Every structure is written in structure tokens, then in C-alpha cells.
Chains A and B, each alone.
Chain A
Amino acid sequence: MLYLKLTRKNFLAALGSFSDYQVYAPKRTEDKVHLKEITILELPENLQFERCTHSAKELFLPPEETLFYFKRFSSAQKPLLDETKRLIIGLRPCDARALQVLDSNFLQGGFDDPYYRSRRENSLVLTIACREFEKTCFCDALGLGPDLLNGADAIIYDLGDQVGVLAGNTVLAQRLQAFALETKEVENETQVDRGAVPSREVELLPVKSPEEYFPLIFQDKLWEEIESACLGCGACSYLCPTCYCFDITDVNLGPVGKRIRTYDSCMFNMYTLEASGHNPRPTLKERWRQRFMHKFSYIPYLHGLLGCTGCGRCLEACPSRIDIREVVKYVATFTG
């Protein structure tokens, strides 16, 4: 990893050299903040961005994407891979953490997802270290932090007149180097000047090891308690930066058609309903077990990292005000 210090002006000038990239940054429209395509000149000089209402997954796993068009199937079927070069700036460390979770699903496990890979490999992700905790943030309670590089290509620290950039991506580091006041090779975040990083007293959530959760999959009473508050609307999974489950369907467009994939949610009955009428997860009890265990047990078990980033979006979105932190605590104390 390379750490660089640059003046703000030079940092923006360095970004200007990515003229072949589409630039995306969080932008407020009315009450929502979304990732929007902008020009480098539109970047705010203070490099402060609001946290996105939706997560960054939209740019890597869009709510709907076309896998291919067809008239009839032929051996000449061409996949529609999105190879747009993107420079995404202003995301948060939790968004970059979520990309690591998405990577673990789409790029590991023995199979590769070419659509996700193409977007991921053609994107440069520059996060900013958070200057304060929002009301619903809890990355620190999961042992993560507002100043970590995570799955980003670089993280930007606010140093007053200057910015500090910790770059994991060597190509990006090289480009910035020409504009830097000073550079040094480092191993991790703790070795660099990170400016004013927010910190607070926080109680770590009692997250168990993946295997410790396994016996709970048989405790029906636990999940019945939790399901009783849930409406099954799926808002949590649509906003969750790590929820990646999808459906594949065909759309007819007159003489041609397209095969698309769209977000799906384990909170829905249709997600697992079989043609025979049998549903292996027939009620919200099984679906809650699935959603919770996927984040806190199955992903950690399979890929070695927690499936929750502590971004807090689900807390804000839930119409029943279900707080996943409380669920983690409740599950930890459950004795049957």
C-alpha cells in the first residue's frame, strides 16, 4: 500500500488525468443522495460527500441488468458485459467493505460471475474516511472502522489543506504519485496520518463465530420471536449493501427478447416457492433465520468475513423499526 499526501488542488488535478473514466459521486436530490455521473470539475473542493441513501452495490449489481438478448438461442449468443471505465469517489468505508462481501460471492466459490467481474475490474473506488458517525452507523460495534480501506482502491483522509490518500491499487498510486508532496510505503491504516478520525466509546456487538450459530438453526422459538415484528417487505435487503440475491427471468420485446437478472429477496415467499407448491421457507420464521444466518454465519463460514458492514441502512428503512443490533444481542442471549 502506498500513502500519499497531496494538496487538495493537486489531488483534483491528479483525478483530472482519468479523463477516460466516467466519474460517479454521491449527489443530493431533494431528500435522497444517489451516486450520479458528474464531471471532475463538479467535485466539491472540500471532498465531503453525504452518505448515499442506497448502497454502492447499484453500480456493480444493478437492480436490473440484461445478461443477453436473444431471437432464438444460437452458439453466437453474446453476453452484454459492461466495460465502462468508472471512477467512483465519495463512498464510505462501509460501502467498500460491502464490495469485499460481494466479491466473495461473485468472484469466489469456484465460479466467476463475468458481469460483476467486468464492472468491478473496470471501476476505481475512492472512499472518504467518515468525519462523524451518523445516528444509525455501527461499523465500530462490529470491529470495523470509519477509516479503513477495506475493498476500495484508495481511501481519502481529510488533513485540512491537504489530503492523505492510502492507495491499495498500484495503478492509481502511480498516477497520484506525480502530484504528491510526500509518499511512503505502509502496511495498514494505523501507520498513516488519518486526520481527525471520529471515535467514540462503543460496546462491541456479541457476534459469535459462524459455527457457534449453527445449533440455532434448529431453535424455532428464537425465529418465531423475531419474525413476529417483521412485515416481510424486503426493504432491508434492497438497501443492504451486501444483499446480492437475484432472480433470472426472460422479457419479450416483440420479435426479440432479453434475459435479465433483477434483485430478489429472501424475505419474499416467491423466492423459494417451487412449482409443486412446496416452499422450503414457507413463513417469515424461516426467512428471518435465512437472512440473519446468511449475514452472521454462512458468509463468515464460507468466506471468512462478516456479511454485515454496520452501515445502518436497514435500521432507517424498516417500517417496523427492527434493529439488527438488537437482533444480534437477542440471538446471543437466547437459551431456548
Chain B
Amino acid sequence: MWQPLQDNPYLPIPMRVEEVKFESEDRSLKSLWLSFLTEGKREEFRFRPGQFIELSIPGKGESPFGIASSPEEKLIQITVNKAGSVTKAIHELDKGDIVGLRGPLGNWYPEEEFVGANLFIISGGFAFTTLASFTKHLLREWSDRVKNIDLVYGARTPGMLLYKDLLEEWKNNPRLNLYLTVDREFPGWTGLVGFVPDIVAKVKVDFENTYALICGPPIMIRLTIPKLLEQGIPKNKIYTSLERRMKCGIGKCGRCNIGPKYVCKDGPVFNFAELENLPSEY
């Protein structure tokens, strides 16, 4: 079982905002890089890609965010979609501001299981955060333990793709086959054009002994799953990460359950064999 860093799981750890950056052309997505105020805390904060944190601003409240940085990076990165009152306040943060963090919370992509297998990473829109963390970690630390790595990532427009510098770097990384796609043609766009599920069906991927990790809007997931099943990937080898309105993050407050599973505690990462036995409340 994972444990959050603090003894009292409701107490936030103070963090300093070190850097902020808009990720998307419409300025709806913003990344924040955070450092621990207390020395030694970063070393104690051991997380694995797929886990999330609760970030809070005093007086505004708390919201859950997947960790976008990889465990090897010193700063903790999250990418925030401006949607509600807390995320609006987070967008107004600047370098030097103090925020609170609880975590790491939840489970992770089970990397031990992937040893010796092919990986097919599929993502769309701003749900790319924890899969970006996973991919960075994979390429840095243990790419020699898996076979082929294919990554399909799509967004509505080129300007809505997250982490553009990282994507540029990955284009030249021979260890990874990167397929970037946008919904329609754009001047200057040299990547693929089309929706993620269609690209998934088209790319030449070795589906033998393959794990698929998929995270994106519900509609993208719904349309992609059949394509993966058609290729013979079994349900228990297709992993996804769910998003819910999570509050406590430790399975106490009750709201994020799907059947007897708590997304915050038993998830957010589930495989489709697990999800099949639960009510479709996601």
C-alpha cells in the first residue's frame, strides 16, 4: 500500500511555485512547477507515474491533479485545465507563491508488469499528463526492459498539444515511435491528421505481447478500446487512468467510488478487465 508523505493525511505540505507556463494556445492549460519548502522533503516524496496530488490554495480549496513530471525530475509538475473556481485561482498563481500539496495519492501504471512487452501509449488532449510522466520515466530509466514503444498523441489543433518541447525531443528519440495527430489540416502541420481512434487503427504496431496505456476524453477511450480489442490485446492488458471529483484522496469521503472501488485509493489506474465488473459510473 502506498502512503502519503504527511502523518495527518489532510494536512497540506507547503510548496513554492517555481515556474508557470501556458501549455495551450487558448491559455486554458497551464503548467506549474513546484518545489518543497522544507529541505529533504523532495527525497521523501517518492511517487510513481500515474499517481496524483491534491493541490490547494488557502481560502480557495483543493483539487486533484495527476503528476506530470517524472520521478527523476526535481520539481513537481502539474498541468491545470481552467474549469472551476480552484483551477481558476491556480491559473492566477505566479512564481514565488505558496501552495499546499497532499500526496502522492493513488496507484500507478504497473511498470513491473510491462517488462519484456511492447508498449502502446495512447492519449488525447490534456489527459496526457501522467502518461507524459510515465513516458519520460520509461525513456530515462528502463527502456531497455521493454520492446517496442509506440505513442499516439492527439489534440484538436497543433496549438493544443501539451509539452511541445518534450514532443520535439521525442521525435528524434530512436527508442520511441511517435505519432502526433490533430483533428484537421493546419498550415505548417507536418504530422498526422485524424482522430486518435482512427490513427490507432492505422499505425503499424506489433500487437503481440502488447500492453496499451490509454488516457484521454471518455469519447476517445470509448472509440479506441474496440480497435485495440480487434487487434487482440486482452482487456487486462489495457490500462487507463480515471478522473473523478476526488476530495480526501484516501478513500474516506466516499464520492469517487465505482462499485466497491475507490478511484482515489484503488485507482486512478485500472485495467479494462477490472472496469468491466463495475457500474459504468465513469
Contacts and interface: CB of A to CB of B under 8 A. Distances in A.
Partners in one complex: yes
Contacts of B56: 73, 250, 259
Contacts of A113: 9, 252
A280 B282 contact: yes
B-side interface mostly: loop
A280 B280 CA distance: 8
Contact of A257 (B58, B98, B279): B58
A107 B259 CA distance: 20
Contacts of B87: 275
B169 interface: no
A246 interface: yes
B279 A289 contact: yes
B125 to A, nearest CB: 11
Contacts of A301: 260
A300 to B, nearest CB: 9
B14 A73 contact: yes
B247 A248 contact: yes
A214 B259 contact: yes
Interface string A240-273: 0000111111101000010101001010000111
Contacts of B100: 73
B252 A273 contact: no
A218 B279 contact: yes
B188 interface: no
A172 interface: no
Interface string A201-243: 0000000001000100110000000000000000000000000
Contacts of B13: 73, 75
A79 interface: yes
Given A217-B259, A274-B243, A274-B245, A245 B253 contact: yes
Contacts of B10: 67-68, 79, 114-115, 248, 259
B104 to A, nearest CB: 13
A142 interface: no
A106 interface: yes
B255 A264 contact: yes
Contacts of A191: none
Contacts of A278: 218
Given A272-B255, A274-B243, A73 B260 contact: no
B257 A275 contact: no
Interface of A: 67-68, 70-75, 77, 79, 105-106, 109-115, 210, 214, 217-218, 244-250, 252, 257, 259, 261, 264, 266, 271-276, 278, 280-281, 286, 289-290, 293-294, 297-298, 301-302
Given A111-B9, A272-B244, A290-B257, 7 more contacts: A73-B14, A105-B252, A109-B251, A110-B265, A114-B9, A210-B260, A275-B87
